[in-house]
Structure 1
Amino acid sequence: MKMEASVAAAAVEKIIGYTFRNKKLLEEALTHTSIREAVSYKRLEFVGGAVLGLAISNYLFHTYTSIDPHHLSLLRDANVSTKKLACAAVYRGLHYYVRHNTSSIDDQIREFVDAVEREKDCAVVLYGGSVKAPKILADIIESIAAAVYSDVDFDLKKSWVVIRGLLEPIATLDDLQQKLQPVVMLYEICEKSGKKLDIRQWGNGAKSTASVYVDEELVALASSDRKDIAKLDAAKLALHKLEPVLPSVTVADFCTSFDGTFDIEAAKQKLHKICEMKNWTKPVYSIEKDEGNAQNKIYVAAVEIATPDGRLRMLGDEKSRLKVAQNSAASLMIRGLQQGKYL
């Protein structure tokens, strides 16, 4: 939607309760790159992500004085995720004042607004959701935060007074525990079991990849065009892998069981059929472990598939026959696809 910059800025000033000294900053913060005759929010967005991250980090550091760093990191991520920020934009009606010139953006925002209205508990968004959050809405929150930060002469304390209102309600430690955020649960499982958890992320072009290591062993890997979703998907896949190893930990709240077993009959054929129905490329299998003699062989197979969100890879369990090992990998991949709401 394209409206006059001054009109949009005046409306947003009322919403956030702050009057800018430099109105141009807010006008720029609301302008998408599709409006070529105006300066877009891209530079402000660059600063805004860091401003929000530091501001919420300061708040959490002083609010939760006795929790460990990884829980602080999880709380920070929950409060500045793409979905959380996009929801914040919708709740405050900021989506009406995003200045752009692309019809597809209108469609994305409309679909997301409808989903937010259906998901009444979306006020504290930790992960997931039925509709992908439009990045432009999160960008706007980040850009407004940067505009405020710049307008108060880069004083983080002063800007936090305004920025906090954009992030409310702020996700708490109780919210993380109640919502069973996959990354939180994964940390809890490993901590209770005395296992070392390491989640590593890296970028490859527009894609972000997350890999989960437990006791230095790769357990799961997932890719997405969004860093937070790649991390969540990898955590979900890792939980499936750890469930049979750690039966005392309940993950049934967000895992759908396949008749209580982890080996699905004819899983390779079923996974092939799934990929065929969704017009994905065929699954690719590899041998990750081939040890022992003819009487006592140990195989571990992996399967990789390409989805519209990126490539997913899953390791199977140790098996005495190669075909059974491949079936194990396919079984776990199907479970992961279901958990990741691909099915």
Structure 2
Amino acid sequence: MSALGQATLDWLRESGFAVRDEALWRRALTHGSTGERDTYERLEFLGDRVLGLATAAWLYAHDGAAEGRLSQRQNALVSRETCAAVARRIGVPAHLRLGTQARDDGGRDSDNILGDVMEALLGAQFVEEGFEGSAALVHRLWGELLAGAAGQGKHPKSALQEWAAAARRRPPEYSVIGREGPDHAARFTVRVAVHNVGEAQATAPSKQEAEKEAARLFMEKYG
């Protein structure tokens, strides 16, 4: 007896997955709410690393941006929301193996579950095909996102925060170093600094806008 239904096996193969060990793929689609021992959690751990390396390798080869911007893009590409969006696009929800409670709670449309299962499927692909085969599948399934603008429109302060974390630096520090003009037409000057890296400053009609512009200038200079 097949470890998975024929419709699911057909769907997996049509989606580009290399299915040989059917029990492996059953595990990748099985949520803990089923009460089964073999669930997707270990495969999710593996697939997360596969996705990270596959997207990093693609960005390194095809995007000439500085490290900070590459990190910003990759963070968007591997986010749970992006993984869930890819899962929905290829039809994962119809093939999830959920327990009754998780099903009733809307598990088939949960970003958390769909993102985890998408990574588990990549983990299973790695077990079956190795890194080359799993990376090729990532590049195909994430193709439009890789070639498009995913991760390029992030708020400058968020981008700087993520850059600092990725570079193992202290969090950026913002300080108001100047204020000019009357209350109805004030101008704020803000400086942002990252320890042992550098600083940038900007002036704008509000503190928030000045911080945003200072973060953007910092990323242009150091990112």
Question: CA shift at 1:141, angstroms?
Answer: 0.7
Q: Output the CA distance in 2 between the equivalents of 1:38 and 1:140.
A: 16
Counting aligned pairs with the same residue, the percent is 26
Q: Output the CA distance in 1 between the equivalents of 2:146 and 2:35.
A: 37
Distance 1:241 1:168, change over 3 A: farther
Question: CA shift at 1:106, angstroms?
Answer: 4.8
The answer to whether the aligner puts 1:169 opposite 2:144 as a matched pair is yes
Q: Which residue in 2 is equivalent to 1:62?
A: 61
Q: Output the CA distance in 2 between the equivalents of 1:173 and 1:144.
A: 24
Question: CA shift at 1:78, angstroms?
Answer: 1.2
Distance 1:48 1:174, change over 3 A: closer
Question: CA shift at 1:109, angstroms?
Answer: 4.5
Contact 2:9 2:19 in 1 (8 A): no
TM-score relative to the length of structure 2:
0.68
Q: Which residue in 2 is equivalent to 1:85?
A: 83
Q: Which residue in 1 is equivalent to 2:193?
A: 215
Q: Output the CA distance in 2 between the equivalents of 1:244 and 1:158.
A: 46
Contact 1:95 1:137 in 2 (8 A): yes
SS at match of 1:46: helix
Contact 2:40 2:120 in 1 (8 A): yes
Contact 1:30 1:144 in 2 (8 A): yes
SS at match of 1:215: strand
Distance 1:145 1:247, change over 3 A: closer
Residues 9-158 of structure 1 aligned to structure 2 (within 5 Å): 9-64=8-63, 66-109=64-107, 112=109, 134-152=111-129, 154=130, 156-158=131-133
Q: Which residue in 2 is equivalent to 1:181?
A: 154
Q: Output the CA distance in 2 between the equivalents of 1:32 and 1:97.
A: 11
Once superposed, what is the RMSD of the aligned Cα atoms?
3.4
Distance 1:107 1:201, change over 3 A: farther
Q: Which residue in 1 is equivalent to 2:189?
A: none
User: Which among 235, 243, 247 is matched to residue 209 of structure 2?
Assistant: 243
Q: Output the CA distance in 1 between the equivalents of 2:167 and 2:79.
A: 16
Q: Output the CA distance in 1 between the equivalents of 2:3 and 2:51.
A: 24
Q: Which amino acid aligns with 1:164?
A: H
Distance 1:78 1:145, change over 3 A: same
Q: Output the CA distance in 2 between the equivalents of 1:95 and 1:157.
A: 26
Q: Output the CA distance in 2 between the equivalents of 1:166 and 1:246.
A: 33
SS at match of 1:148: helix
Q: Output the CA distance in 1 between the equivalents of 2:117 and 2:107.
A: 13
Deviation by residue 1:170-198 (Cα, 9 ceiling, x = unmatched): 24464444xx312xx2378x7xxxxxx73
Q: Output the CA distance in 2 between the equivalents of 1:169 and 1:77.
A: 16
Contact 1:5 1:99 in 2 (8 A): no
Question: CA shift at 1:105, angstroms?
Answer: 4.7
Q: Output the CA distance in 1 between the equivalents of 2:8 and 2:37.
A: 14
Distance 1:140 1:187, change over 3 A: closer
TM-score relative to the length of structure 1:
0.46
Distance 1:134 1:18, change over 3 A: closer
Q: Which amino acid aligns with 1:138?
A: G
Contact 1:16 1:165 in 2 (8 A): no
Distance 1:86 1:215, change over 3 A: same
Any unmatched runs of 5+ in structure 2?
A: 174-191, 196-205, 217-223
Distance 1:161 1:173, change over 3 A: closer
